[in-house]
Amino acid sequence: MGTGRCTYKNLSEFIQRLEADGELLRVKDVVDPILHITEIADRMSKLPNGGKALLFENVVGSRFPLLINGFGSAKRMALALGVDDVEEIKEQVEKLLNIAPPESLADKMKMLPVLFEMAKFPPKKSGGFAPCQEVVCEGDDVDLSILPALKCWPEDAGRFITFPLVFTKSLSGVTNLGMYRMQIFNKNETGMHWHIHKDGAHQFHEYRKAGKRMEVAVCIGSDPVVTYAATAPLPRGVDELLLAGLIRKKPVTLAKCKTVDLFVPADAEFVLEGYVDPSESLRTEGPFGDHTGYYSLASDYPVFHVTAVTHRKTPTYFTTIVGKPPMEDCYMAHATARIFLPMLQKVLPEVKDYDLPWEGVFHNCVITAVEKEFPAGAQRVMNAMWGTGQMSFAKMILAVDEDTDVTDYKTVLKTFLNNFDASEDIFLSQGVLDVLDHSAPKPLRGSKLGLDATARLPMEADRKFPVLSDVDEDAIGRECRSHGIKSFSVIGAECKNRIVVCSIDKKRAGEAFEKGGNLLSGIAGGMANILVIVDGDIDPSDHSVVAWKFFNNTDPKRDITVRGDRVIVDATRKLPGEGHKREWPDEIEMDDETKKSVDGIWAALRHGASGGQPQHGAATR
């Protein structure tokens, strides 16, 4: 890895580096954390290459500055991790995983430098002065209103801490670091939104079974590597601070908390200490505008009771927002995908690469390049991925050949349309889904879609393709209008399979499949064989938004119908009579009043960020 890796002692040093590299804008205007900061940060994240990081120096109601969009570009993500490119960390992980077991004394001697280097990485505890405890407030002096926490979106239930580093410890003493949003209920209580599949929730269940109170410590703002490590999909029981040490090339220094038996990074900006009590009733938390671009619905979660707040004398509040992609979290997810590819390849060596498109909001779509050695090899890989770690939450997987660039979406789409046999290459599975998947009839589980676009092997039967005539968009338009379809777009007019995307104002259950069937049985069905139906407010020619709707709104088993070589996909919002009894969440949208109020300072900020056209993504509609 070399010796030139940049490391930061604290968040301030990272801010200095961002400014030195022209990646930071200081906002001196007085800005409200209620919606306004979100609107500015959202606009910034949609600029080319993620715009700039924003340091708000005058936040209404707080004396502390606020940093946001600090990880919101490929360059800033690399800067945060102290490298020129996150591929450097991937290569380091790959080398560590590929160390062969020593078979001789000579082999053992060769391993000593590696073992000696790794021995430097575990976190170290310090009994001395801790900058994160320059100011200490305990008991009645605790007041979370000092934090410039954001209310991100209009329908959010309140103000949320969105970038918390949550430290917990199992009954056996294993430390976990996770990131779980926290709704501020009052001066000393928040929600603790750990999803049922997360390690923090697993430890909470341990304490509940034992009838014991669980201590928690929460840091806000730290060395950016530690913040990133809190989001990493490590196996249960693996210390996230060890990963941070590996990336930083030096250990994280820890300080003992004041009121709980936990250790936290000594150079953190803020620390909230306290506990959750499993014997207490859960409290309603949410809704919250989430990374899917929809609101996650209100639900019941444990309450975090804050017994102490400590912080630096001049701390900076580090936060983020999520919503319609692309946003800051997209760059974090891309870094994770690259860094953890070698670990997936250890389990599935046939996987040569993979990509998580923004429109798939991380867990709804995976494109994987597969080295296929035998019939059904791609299906085997997809089934194995659905049983492996965080990949088990993936709803849809598209397999392509190993020489396909999985990040070249135009080529991937063309490959799919030219290699797809609807009678052979689409298959469904069942399994666990991310808690934020709103399309499945039941929460946390549902159907999964596999698409095989790999080349056929000699021992596999040749694909069968539909017989299609040349596309006549005027004819398709006339037929669409006759069936009450508002607008349409043709994708892949020169390919063996073709897609027509149609928008409709659906008023009754089953209308999407009815209109789709009518269209495919007519003239349009002679020119295209795949029909995707979206709601009437969607522009079918905005293929990024269409993909985002498809991944978010489709339960494969319920919403995809295959009729020979014809396919109909219902990607509309589901009505009560369509087999979806759960509440359907609202799409995130900022209110007009906030948009208008931000217009006054946006021109100057955009100019400072070098402007340009918005980058491609679901939120650019």
Q: Are 359 and 101 in contact (CB under 8 A)?
A: no
Sign of the dihedral defined by the CA atoms of residues 356, 362, 90, 19, in that order = positive
Active site residue 405: no
Q: From the candidates 42, 156, 290, 421, give the one annotated as an active-site residue.
A: 290
- H or E element at residue 550: helix 543-553
Of 389, 343, 323, residue with least CA distance to 68: 323
Q: Which residues touch 389 (CB under 8 Å, ≥6 apart)?
A: 233, 235, 343, 344
Sequence-separated contacts (24+) of 545-548 with Cβ below 8 Å: 545/618, 545/620, 545/621, 546/489, 546/501, 546/571, 547/357, 547/359, 547/360, 547/365, 547/618, 548/293, 548/324, 548/325, 548/359, 548/360, 548/361, 548/618
Which tokens in the block code for residue 35? 């919606």
Percent helix, percent strand, percent coil in the chain, to nearest 5:
30, 25, 45
Please spell the DSSP secondary structure of 23-50, one letter per residue.
-EEEEEEEE-TBTHHHHHHHHHHTSGGG
- The closest alpha carbon to 363, from 400, 398, 334, 393, belongs to 393
> Helices then strands (H, E): number in the chain?
16, 30
SS3 state of residue 289: strand
- Report the C-alpha gap between 193 and 237 in whole angstroms: 20
Helical (H) or strand (E) element with 345: helix 328-347
Q: Verify cis geometry, omega within 30 degrees of 0, for the bond prior to 326.
A: yes
Calpha distance 233→29 (Å, rounded): 38
Chain centroid offset of residue 263 CA: 28
| Residue type (1 letter), 556 | P
Which amino acid would we find at residue 167?
Answer: F
Query: Measuring CA to CA, which residue among 417, 406, 67 is closest to residue 269?
Result: 67
Q: List CB contacts of 143: < 8 A, sequence separation 6 or more.
A: 137, 187, 188, 309
- The upper half-sphere exposure of residue 307, i.e. CA atoms within 13 Å in the direction of its Cβ, equals 14
Residues 277 and 291: their CA atoms lie apart, in Å, by: 29
Of the candidates 520, 602, 596, the one whose C-alpha atom is nearest the C-alpha of residue 561 is 520
- In angstroms, the CA 42 to CA 325 distance is 9
Q: What single string gives the DSSP state of each residue in 273-286? A: EEEE-TTSPPEEE-
In the numeric block, the tokens 């709980």 are attached to 260
CB 243 within 8 A of CB 249: no
Which residues does the annotation mark as catalytic? 290
